[in-house]
Amino acid sequence: MNDSMTARVITRFGADVLITTPANETIRCTPKRKLEHITCGDYVTWEEHSQGNATITEILPRSNVLTRPDFRGKPKNIAANIDLVIIVISWRPSPLWDMLDRYLIATELLPAQALIVMNKADLATDYATADDLACLAEYESIGYPLLYAQATEGVGITAIREAIGDKTAIVVGQSGVGKSSLAAKLLPTQDIRVGEIANTGEGRHTTTNAMLYTLPKRGFLIDSPGVRDFGLGAVTPEQLRQGYREFQPYQGQCRFNNCSHTHEPQCAIKTALATQQLPPHRYERYLNLLAGL
């Protein structure tokens, strides 16, 4: 395949997309009709024309694709070919731990690596409760990397950049936690809109479409729209259990192969929970998610 005719999707807007070529050219294209599911981060082939937009001719095989349900409950593509999911939380607006869990489950199922970033870390004294701190500590206890940042001051940016390396990373999280502020520090030459927190403590959307950026030295960063909520879509109970990495060491140790880890006798997960080998807050949220499937 001719490299000059391959590219990567930067963003999609309406019927058209922007692509970046290996020569760092940005080109506006119109996909063929059968390619309506094209998304940010896709690798594609394209054809140039003497007049009008270029044409996307094919979406190359994906390593993964992150989706979320649309208003009809159907999966909507957010971005593709992701190596690292950076989930940003903050002390204002307050952390939504169940949303963080859903992002982590989605990341495990991609599969991709996860990085939790606690932005606005300086607000812990004013806003973090003892229960919040206990919840946060649980993620580190089960092996999720956690970085602290103050995006507006540039604190933690170097560590995030090192975590990305040469990977394709996507920044996700609740509206108002500072995703675009982090992206602006990682991409100082780009014009990225940064919003302010509302008086209610709720976040405001500043990014409307997922957008792929080439980082200054290496790697790629996808800035995604903030959300009020993030749904998993049509996951099965088995997939939900796969999304809890702390369950994996006990796989196959329950009496029943299809154990739900709720009421069954001789459940290895419940035994580990009783002996304080598993994080209790995470388990309670697992029960809530399971009940909602």
85-135 pLDDT tens trace: 999 999 999 999 999 999 999 999 999 999 999 999 999 999 999 999 999
Tell me the percentage of the chain whose pLDDT exceeds 90. Answer: 80
Strands 84-90 and 113-119: parallel
| Dihedral angle sign, alpha carbons of residues 258, 262, 263, 269 | positive
Q: What is the pTM of this model?
A: 0.92
Q: Read off the pLDDT of each residue in 74-95 and give the average, rounded to a whole number.
A: 96
CA atoms of 288 and 283, how far apart (whole Å)? 9
Asked whether this chain's domains 65-223 and 237-291 adopt the same fold, the reply is no
Q: Report which secondary-structure segment, H or E, holds 99.
A: helix 97-109
DSSP reduced 3-state for 245 = helix
Whether residue 196 contacts residue 207, with contact meaning beta carbons closer than 8 Å, is answered with no
Whether residue 72 contacts residue 234, with contact meaning beta carbons closer than 8 Å, is answered with no
Q: Reading across the β-sheet that carries 84-90, which strands appear in turn?
A: 146-148, 113-119, 84-90, 168-173, 220-223, 211-214
The CATH homologous superfamily for domain 65-223 is P-loop containing nucleotide triphosphate hydrolases (3.40.50.300)
Q: What is the pLDDT of residues 150-161, one digit of tens each?
A: 999 999 999 999
In the chain, where the domains are located: 3-59, 65-223, 237-291
Domain 237-291 indexed as CATH 1.10.40.50:
yes
**What's the 3-state SS for 128-197?**
CCHHHHHHHHHHHHCCCCEEECEHHHCECHHHHHHHHCCCEEEEEEECCCCHHHHHHHHCCCCCCCCCCC
Whether residue 175 contacts residue 204, with contact meaning beta carbons closer than 8 Å, is answered with yes
* pLDDT over threshold 50, residue 2: no
The correct CATH number of 3-59 out of 2.40.50.140, 2.40.220.10, 3.30.70.1290, 3.20.20.80 is 2.40.50.140
Q: Read off the pLDDT of each residue in 258-281 and give the average, rounded to a whole number.
A: 97
DSSP reduced 3-state for 109 = helix
